[in-house]
Structure 1
Amino acid sequence: MLSITKRRRSFRYADQSNSGSGSIYEYEDCFVGLTDDLPLVSCGNYCGKTMTLKEVLRSSVGVMGESPLGLTEKVVLLKSQMFAVKRLRMTVVRRNEFGKRVEKLAQVSKKCEYLVPIAAYLYTKRIKFILCEYFPMGSLADLLAGARKYGHTALNWNQRLKIILSIARAIEFIHRQNPNERKIKMNVHGNIKSSNVMIKIDFSACLSDYGFTQLAERVELPRKRQLKPPPHQVPPPSYLIYREELSQKADIYNFGVVIMDILAGSRFSTFKKCILEVKEEITEGRIEFFEFALDTRERMRASQILDIALACTNLSAEGRPSIEQILLFLGDAIIK
C-alpha cells in the first residue's frame, strides 16, 4: 500500500516494502497506484525510468468510446502493458474526496471477478482519469455492433447466456454492499449499459464504470451534424432509453435493456407493445424475434429470459424484481 505525503507542490510516493523510501514527483505527474503488480504507476518508477503524466498521455493509441462522463482510451505503457483510461470531463468532488472514493471502489471491485479492476487514478487541475484493466475483446456493444453492422460472427446462444449471467452476478455483488460509505452509495452501479459490459476471452463478462457516476457529472455531447436527416427518423422509445437515476431499481431497469439488446436488438422495439399477445408465436418460432439461431430447447430458455427482461423494464419501479429474484429466475431458465 502507498503512503502519500503532500509537500508544497509535490507528492511523495513511498513504497513501504522498501523501508519507506520514495521519490518526489511534481504535482502534475501524480499517480496513485492501487495494485501491487503495477510498479510503474504506484511508485512512479519502472526499470529506472520515471513515468510522467506527459508520457502516459502520449501513450494513448486511440479512443475506444465516448460517453457523457468522458472518454475511454487505450494506452500501452512500459513493457507493453495495456490499460483502458477513463478520462473524466467534469468531476463532482475535490481531490481528497475523489481519491477516497476511487480507492474504495477499487477495494470493492477487486473482490468480485465480474467487476473491472481499477489499477490507478490521477487527479490534476486539468486532467482527471482512472486507469482500468484492458479487455482485448472489447465491450458487449462492440461485439453486437460488429455482427449487426459489419457482418462479424454473431454471438451464439450459450455465449449470450454466459454474458447475461455474468452481469447479473456483478449486480448482485454490488447490491449487497454497504449502502453508504465515505459519502458514496456503494450498493448501486449507476451506469449499466452494453458499452460498460467488457467481454473476456471465455465470453464471461465484467461490468466497468462501477460508481463512476458519483465521481463525474454527465456532460451533454454535441450532436453530429447531418447534411440530410434520415427519412422517417423517430427518437428511440422510452423503454429503450437507459435510466440515469442512482438507485438499485434503475440498475435493474438498465439490466433489462441490456438483456433486450442481447436477445433481439432493434427487433425489440417492433414487438414491445404487443409482445405478450405474440409470446406463444415467438416461443414456437413462428415469429422471428431473436437475432440468432436457436434450437427448440434454446428457444424455450430464451423466451423465459425474455420474460425476465420484460419484468426488469417495467415502467413502475416497484414492479421490477430484485437481483436475487432475477438470479433465481435465470437458474430456472437454465435448468429447464
Structure 2
Amino acid sequence: MAVMILKRVLMAMLLSLVATRVNSEPTQDKQALLAFLSQISHANRIQWNQSHSACTWVGVVCDPTNSSVFYLRLPGAGLVGQIPRNTLSRLSQLRVLSLHSNRLSGPIPSDFSQLTLLRNVYLQDNQLSGDFPSSLVQLSRIIRLDISSNNFTGSIPFSLNNLTHLTGLFLQNNQFTGRIPSIAQPSLADFNVSNNRLNGSIPTAMARFPATAFANNLQLCGDPLAPCNPFFPSPAPSPTLPPPPVIVTRRRSRRLSTAAIVAISVVGGILLLLLLLALIFLLLRRNRRRQTTKTQKPPPAITTARALGEAAGTSSSKDDVTGGSAEGAERNKLIFFQGGGYSFDLEDLLRASAEVLGKGTVGTSYKAVLEEGTTVVVKRLKDVSVTKKEFEQQMEVLGNIKHENVLPLRAFYYSKDEKLLVSDYMPAGSLSALLHGSRGSGRTPLDWESRLRIAVSAARGLVHLHVSRKIVHGNIKSSNILLRQDNLLDACVSDYGLNPLFSSSNPPNHRIMGYRAPEVVETRKVTFKSDIYSFGVLVLELLTGKAPNQASLGEEGIDLPRWVQSVVREEWTAEVFDVELMRYHNVEEEMVQLLQIGMACVANVPDQRPEMQHVLRMIEDMNRGDTDEGLRQSSDDALRGGSDSQTPPTDSRKASPAGLTP
C-alpha cells in the first residue's frame, strides 16, 4: 500500500514538473525581442502581444519546453534600418536567424559573436554594408551562411575556415575585393561569389564549383574559368623589399671614332628608308582593298550560317548546311507548314543576322532577323538519333498542332549534320526571365493576377497536348513558357514533343534539374504523369519566386517541392510565398488554393497525381469573382485549338489535391 502511495506522489510531482516546463515563458528572450522590435521600423503585420507568450508570436519558434527561442524568421517583414545592438545577441539559444528580403542597413553588430549556437543565417536581399562581418566568422557551428545581395565591401577572410560545419556560403551580388581565400572544408557543397570585384587566381580547393559561382568579377582566373596568364599574373600583396644596393663603378671615358659615327649614320639611313617603303606598301594595299570592297554590303551582325558553324565547331560556310551543291540544297530544303505566313527560303535564313537566345537541354536557340525584317527563332537540335524519315514524321505531327497556348512550329530542316526548327519570335520573352530577372529598385514585380493567368494559359496548352493530341511535352520549365507581346498575361508552351527524336538511353530530359519527376531519374522516360510533376514545380515556382535549381533554396539545399513541404509542415505557410506577393491583399486564400494544387501535382507516386485536365479545372474553379471571364473560361475550350482537334469527353469529377495543411 505504501509503495502505491509513493508511486502516485512521484507521478504527481513528475506531471507537475512537466506542466511547469511546458508552460514556462522565455522571459529574457522575450525582452530581447521586444527591445529589437522597439528600436527598428517594421511593417504593421508584426504584432507581438506582450500579454501572450513569445513562443506564440509571428516568426518565433521556441524549443519543446518553451524556455528558449530557437528560430527567428521575419523574411519580407518590412524591417528598415540598422540591427540594434544588445537585442538579438541576447537570444543565447538561437539556431536559425532569417531576416532576408527586408531593408536592413549598416554593419552587422559585433555582438552577434555571442550567438554561439547559431547554425543557419539568412540575411540576403538587404542593404547591409561594411566589411565582412567578423562576428559571424566566430560562430563555429554555422552550417549555411547567406549574406548575398547586400553592399558588403573589403576582402573575404581566410578565417572562414573556422566554420568547420559549413555546407553553404553565398556571397554573390556584393562589392567584395581582393583574392578568394582557400576554403578547404570538404562539407562545403554550395558556394557563390559571383558579381563582386574579386581578382587573382581561384584556389585549387575551390575549382570544384561551377563557373557561374565566380562569374562577373574583375580579374578572376584559373579553373573553372580561363587559365591565368603566366606572364602577367594578377597583382598580389607582397612585403616591401629594401632598395637594391648602389654599386659604384668606375666609368671609362671613351669617345667613338669618326668611322664608327659614319657607319652608324649609314645604317640608320638605310633602316629609315626601308621603314618608309614598308609604309608606302601598306597604304597602297589598303587603298586596293577599299576599292575591292566598296560594292560589297557588310553584314550588320553575325550571320545565321556562321552562328551555326561556330556552335558546331565547324566552318561558318553555308555549304556546311546545304550540302555544298544545288542538288544537296534541293534535297535538304527548308520545309514549311501551312498557315505560317512566311515566304523565305534556306538561303535567306542563312544570310540573316543572328544572336544566341539561350542554350537548353535539346539545343541552342537563335534569334534570326532576315533582310526583309522578319524575325524568327531557329533552334539547332543536338544529339538527334532518329533517321530522316522518323524525324519528318514527328515534325508532321508537331507542325499540325494549332492552339493559342501552344507555340506553333513553322518550318524544319534536316540534313546529316544539322537539324533545325523554325518558330515565331516572342519579344516579351520567357516566364523565367520575367520571374527571375533583376530584382533591383527599377524592377516591375509580377503581380498575383499575372501569375495566375500565366498558370491557367500554360495549363490550357498542356491539356491540348495531352488530351487532344496525345503528346507528352517532356520539357516543361519556366524558360519554355513564353509570353505574348500583346498580352503579358497570356502564355504559350514551347519545346514540346521533342523527346522521340533522341536516344531512349540518354534523353534530354535526363539533364533537366529541378523539374524532373522522381521516376524519370530512374527510367529516363517521360510520361503524361511526369509532365504533371513538372507543371506542379512550375506552379510552386510561380508562388515562391524561387528557381527549382536555386542553390540557396532552403536550409539544407533541398529541391523546391521538398522545401515547400518542409515549410508547410512547420505551419509556416506564409514564408513559402514570394516576397513580391505579400503586398497584395485579399489573395491569401487563392494563393493557398493554388499551393494545394501544385503540391498535388508533385506527389512522389505518379498515380496520385491528377490528370492535366483536372488540374486546369481545379485552377479555374478556384474561389474567383464572376467578373473575371477570361480566367473562368471553361477548360473544355483548352481542348479546341483548330479544325484538326477533336474534343473528347472529359471526366467532370475534380481530383482532390493531396492532403495539405496550410
TM-score (norm 2): 0.39
- Provide the aligned length of Structure 1 versus Structure 2: 277
Which amino acid is 2:408 matched to?
A: P
Quote the offset at 1:278 in angstroms: 4.5
Is 1:170 the equivalent of 2:450?
Answer: no
Q: Deviations over 1:71-94 (max 9, x none)?
A: 011111242111111110121211
Instruction: Write the distance in 1 (CA, Å) between the matches of 2:352 and 2:596.
Output: 45
Q: Give the structure 2 partner of residue 140 of structure 1.
A: 431
CA distance in 1, matches of 2:610, 2:422: 34
Quickly say closer, same or farther: Cα 1:276–1:87, change in 2 above 3 A.
same
Residue in 2 that maps onto 1:32: 335
Matched ranges for 1:147-186 at <5 A: 147-148=438-439, 152-178=443-469, 186=470
> Aligned pair 1:209/2:209, yes or no?
no
User: What CA deviation, in whole Å up to 9, does each residue of 1:91-142 have, x standing for no partner?
Assistant: 121112211211211102x2x1110011100001111110011100111111
CA separation in 1, counterparts of 2:441 and 2:492? 24
**Partner of residue 318 from structure 1, selected from 607, 622, 626:** 607
Residues 136-176 of structure 1: per-residue CA shift (max 9 Å, x gap): 01111111121447963221111111100011111111111
How many Å separate the matches in 2 of 1:267 and 1:85?
Answer: 26
Q: Structure 1 residues 191 and 76, CA, compared in 2 at 3 Å: closer, same or farther?
A: same
Residue 577 of structure 2, aligned match among 274, 279, 289: 289
Q: Distance in 1 between matches of 2:434 and 2:332?
A: 35
What SS does structure 2 have at the residue aligned with 1:90?
A: coil
2:59 aligned with 1:59: no
Change (3 A) 1:197 1:173: same
Deviates more, 1:62-71 or 1:139-148: 139-148
Does residue 257 (structure 1) correspond to residue 537 (structure 2)? The answer is yes
Among 176, 193, 202, the residue aligned to 2:477: 193
Task: Kindly indicate whether the alpha-carbon contact (under 8 Å) linking 2:482 and 2:493 is maintained by their aligned counterparts in 1.
Answer: yes
Q: Which runs of 5+ in 2 are unaligned?
A: 1-321, 555-562, 626-662
> Counterpart of 2:400 in 1: which secondary structure?
helix
Question: Using the alignment, how far apart are the partners of 1:60 and 1:152 within structure 2?
Answer: 30
Letter matched to residue 198 of structure 1: L
Larger Rg: 2
Aligned partner letter, 2:567: I
Cα distance in 2 for residues equivalent to 1:151 and 1:62: 26
SS in 2 for 1:84: strand
Q: 1:267 to 1:139 in 2, by over 3 A?
A: closer
**Kindly tell me: are residues 250 and 288 of structure 1, through their superposed partners in 2, closer, same or farther at Cα, counting changes over 3 Å?**
closer
Q: CA 1:37–1:265 in 2, change beyond 3 Å: closer, same or farther?
A: closer
The one-letter code of the counterpart of 1:211 is: G
Q: Tell me which of 354, 362, 382 is aligned to 1:69.
A: 362
What amino acid does structure 2 have at the position aligned with 1:189?
Answer: H
Taking structure 1 as the reference length, what is the TM-score of the superposition? 0.74
SS at match of 1:166: helix
1:189 match: secondary structure: coil
- Name stretches of at least 5 consecutive residues in structure 1 with no aligned partner: 1-9, 12-22, 45-50, 179-185, 224-235
Identity score, percent: 29
Q: Quick one: distance in 2 between partners of 1:40 and 1:78? A: 12
Q: Which has the higher strand share?
A: 1
2 CA distance for matches of 1:117 and 1:191? 16
Q: Which stretch shifts more, 29-38 or 146-155?
A: 146-155
Equivalent residue number for residue 3 of structure 2: none
Q: CA RMSD in A?
A: 3.0
More helix by share: 1
SS, match of residue 622 in structure 2: helix
Query: 2-side partners of 1:99 and 1:78: how far apart?
Result: 28
Aligned 8 A contact 2:366 2:379 in 1: yes
Cα deviation per residue 1:249-305 (whole Å; 9 max; x = unaligned)?
1000000111111111339843424233345x53xx5x4632323433212101110
What code does the residue aligned with 2:374 have? Q
Tell me the amino acid that sits aligned with residue 413 of structure 2.
L
